[in-house]
Structure formats: structure tokens, C-alpha cells
Amino acid sequence: MDEWLRWLETLHPKTIDLGLKRVRTVLNTLSLQEPSYRVIIIGGTNGKGSCVAFLESIYREAGFHVGSFTSPHLWRFNERLRFNGAEVPDDTLIELFEIINEARGEVTLSYFEYSTLAALLHFVRSGAEVALLEVGLGGRLDAVNVMDSDASLVTSVSLDHQTWLGTTREVIGHEKAGIMRHACPAIIADRDSPISLMTHANRVGALVEQIGREFDYELDGEQWCYRGRGGGLRLGLPRPAFGGEEQLSNAAGCLAVIEALKKILPVDSGALFRGLENARLGGRMERRDINAVQWIFDVAHNPAAASALAKELSQHPVAGRTLGVVAMMGDKDCSGILAPLMPLIDEWLVTQTGEDRDALPTVLVETLGAGVLSTVCLDIEAACELARLNSEPGDRVVVFGSFYLVGPAMLALGLYSAPSQSSELTAKWTGV
């Protein structure tokens, strides 16, 4: 499996090369262009993975066979392809890769394009009834957009990946809107969405529903209520078990999708409740205790996500100090990501992930500015070890800035073991 993944990284000359021609060519060769399952494409800047988790859990509780394709992964590639909640095992993935390799001929595919085709092929072979496809980058030219969807969901639009998508929300919104289809539900879970989203929706004739207009939510103590297009309320819904309050917008968007597709994918109230209650997703304000120190892991890697993380931290203060373990990619808005957290973090442990796109730790330290207590750590394991040594009971450690940091950090702390290795979490230190 590792050999295959290393080879996939070298097959296409560009790591990121947006466009649908290559993947459509191989899709047609594999006769996957008209699948038997229903397709829901989820795009947006933040919250895509969360929405896949909600929809996957709800539709599974309703009795459907559900395929899910997400990216990136936290620990292992297999997380990207799930069927009925289970990761696709190595031997099945290798078989899929071999079939695609034979079908592609002289066509070179990027790592993400190859992954997308593997997911689509597996869902057909496994008898999926619903396929949840998370956009990797943008939407209009992303590989998953090669499929015609029964519904689309745009979670939010903010600045990220400007090198590829544009430098304004309006331009980025146009790219995100590319997943909308004629006469199909197009759900927007962004209350202040760019005009370009609605403009494109009207141009293609999508059936738009936007939060704050056709649907919305409101808090009700420890639960929440959903109001749909008909004005009726679903009362007493369980709050998401991961993330912060921003997840309610994502969950409401998912309920709008379910409501829009209820004639072809019926979901009863019990399945809806259980699905929301049982949905799980790692690395989204994920809290763990190690020796009476609260550790928080969050994949926030753009200013909007960092602001949401800062809001949650400020609403839940701790008695002691807050330490921050941070690493991020060099093509990110480093200052925009760090700024919301600076008033909340007392000591910074700056490191790097080992990826080619890494921001240099020295650059991050310079961004933090003079007078800020910071230490450069050689790697993620060293940063976590130093955070453990420098923290005391009642303190908090926040690990954020990249998927490529959060997953390895949890691995270094003994908070994850692959399903094939153990069914239980292991811990390097006591008190987990």
C-alpha cells in the first residue's frame, strides 16, 4: 500500500492540477459516469468533513448503504474511502488501484484524481445507495465534480487556497458554486454568502435554499431546533459531539439536504436523531485529557476556522495557562491564522510537519512577533513532548494549523492506533 501511495504522488507532474478532462476520460473507460447510487457533493471552505460525517451517520441510521469520500486524512489514507462507516482495507484499495491503472492508459492522474476514481469504483462494486463526495479544492474543477449530483451543499465561503481559487470571496464563491446542478437542490449553509453563489445558482437553474431564509436553526439549552422550508420545527435535536457552535450551521445544512431529498431518500425522525447523536469526526475541537491537562486538537488552517477555534477557547477558559502547538503550510495566510489565537495562548511551540509546503518555523516565530514566548521544535513529536513537560494540571494545550500536524501529533501522543492494529486506543503516557 505504501508503495502504491508513493507512486501516486509521482504519476502526474503537478501535485495540484485542477480540471475534469483526465478524470472524465478514465471515468468513461470504467463506465462509472451513470452510477446506480444517489450523489451528494459537499463543498465549501470549512465544515465539509463535518457535513459528510453528519450525512453518513444519518443515512446509515435510516438503513441506506452509504459510501463516503473525504480528504485529507488525519492518520492513514484509508480514512478517505469509507463504506457504511468502515475504512476500505488495503487489499481492496490495491485492487481498485490496479483496475484504474489498467483503465487509464496513457492518462496521468493526480493523487486526488486517482483517489476519487477509486472511491467511485468501490461504491459501485459495493452496492452503495448514497455517495457523499467531499470537494478537495474549490468545486468547479475539482475531480468529484465530474459526477452529476442529486444535491449539493456549500458549507461556507472564506479565503483559503487563494493561489488556485482567487483572492476574493466573490471569485472563490464562483468556484464553490460550480457543484450546483440544474433543477437539483443546492443548499447554502453560509448566512452571508457571496453574490456569486446565487448568481451561478440562478444561471444553472438550481433549487437554492439558504440558511437564514428557507431554513435555519436556534439554540434551545443543550439542544437545538431546526426550521425547514415549510416553517415547521424539529425540536430537541442533540448538539453535535464534535466541534463548536459553528457545527450547528453545518448540521442545519445537512438537515436541509435530507429534507430536499426526502422523496428519494426517506429518513424518519428516529434515524435523524440517532444519526446526529452518533456522528463523530476527529480533529475538530477534539478534547482529550492527559495527566489532568486538557489537550485540544483542531485542524483549523485558515483565518475563518482559526477565529471559530478562538471563539470556542474564549468561551471555555481554563484555570491555568494555554500552550499552543502550531505548524502550517507556507501557502496559508499565517498571520491571519495566528492572530485570533494570540490573545489566548501564553506559550507557543512552533514546529513543522515535514511536508514540502511547510511554513518555516522561523517564519511563524517572526509572524508572532517580538515579546511572544515561543520555542522552535525540530518536529511534531518534540513539540508534543515539550508541551507535555511544560504543562501542569489545569493547563490547556491547543494543537492546530494543519491536518498534517493534528494527525501525527495525536499519533505521537499515543491517542490513535490503526484499526488493523488494535481496536482500542493506546497511550504513551498514563492518565489518558
**Unique residue bearing C-alpha cell 442529486:** 150
Contact at 8 Å (CB) between 298 and 286? Answer: yes
Q: Domains for the chain: give ranges and CATH numbers.
A: 2-278 (3.40.1190.10), 286-412 (3.90.190.20)
Interacting residues of 418 by C-beta distance below 8 A, sequence separation 6+: 75, 76
Nearest CA to 334 out of 292, 293, 300 is that of: 300
Q: CA 292 to CA 330: how far, in whole Å? A: 34
Q: CA 99 to CA 76: how far, in whole Å? A: 21
What's the alpha-carbon Rg for the chain, to the nearest Å?
A: 21
**Given this model, what pLDDT does residue 244 score?**
84
Q: CA 162 to CA 331: how far, in whole Å? A: 9
Per-residue pLDDT of the chain (432 residues; tens, 9 = 90+): 999 999 999 998 787 778 899 999 999 999 998 999 999 999 998 899 999 999 999 999 999 999 999 999 999 999 999 999 999 999 999 999 999 999 999 999 999 999 999 999 999 999 999 999 999 888 888 999 999 999 999 998 876 655 656 678 888 888 899 999 999 999 999 999 899 999 999 999 999 999 999 999 998 888 999 999 876 678 889 999 998 888 999 999 999 999 999 999 999 999 999 999 999 999 999 999 999 999 999 999 999 899 999 999 999 999 999 999 999 998 889 999 999 999 999 999 999 999 888 999 999 999 999 889 999 999 999 999 999 999 999 999 999 999 999 999 999 999 976 654 333 333 333 233
**Unique residue bearing C-alpha cell 499552543:** 324
What phi-psi label fits residue 316: left (phi over 0), alpha (psi between -120 and 50 degrees) or beta? beta
Cell digits of residue 74: 488525519
pLDDT tens string 353-391? 998 889 999 999 999 998 899 999 999 999 999 999 999
End-to-end CA distance of the chain: 31
**Given this model, what pLDDT does residue 356 score?**
85
Nearest CA to 151 out of 263, 32, 12 is that of: 263
Q: CA 406 to CA 95: how far, in whole Å? A: 30
Q: CA 64 to CA 26: how far, in whole Å? A: 28
Contact at 8 Å (CB) between 136 and 142? Answer: yes
Q: 3-class SS at 332?
A: coil
CA angle 125, 421, 328 (to 5 degrees): 85
**Given this model, what pLDDT does residue 419 score?**
59
**Given this model, what pLDDT does residue 79 score?**
95
Q: CA 204 to CA 349: how far, in whole Å? A: 48
Burial class (CB in 10 A: 0-12, 13-18, 19+), 107: middle
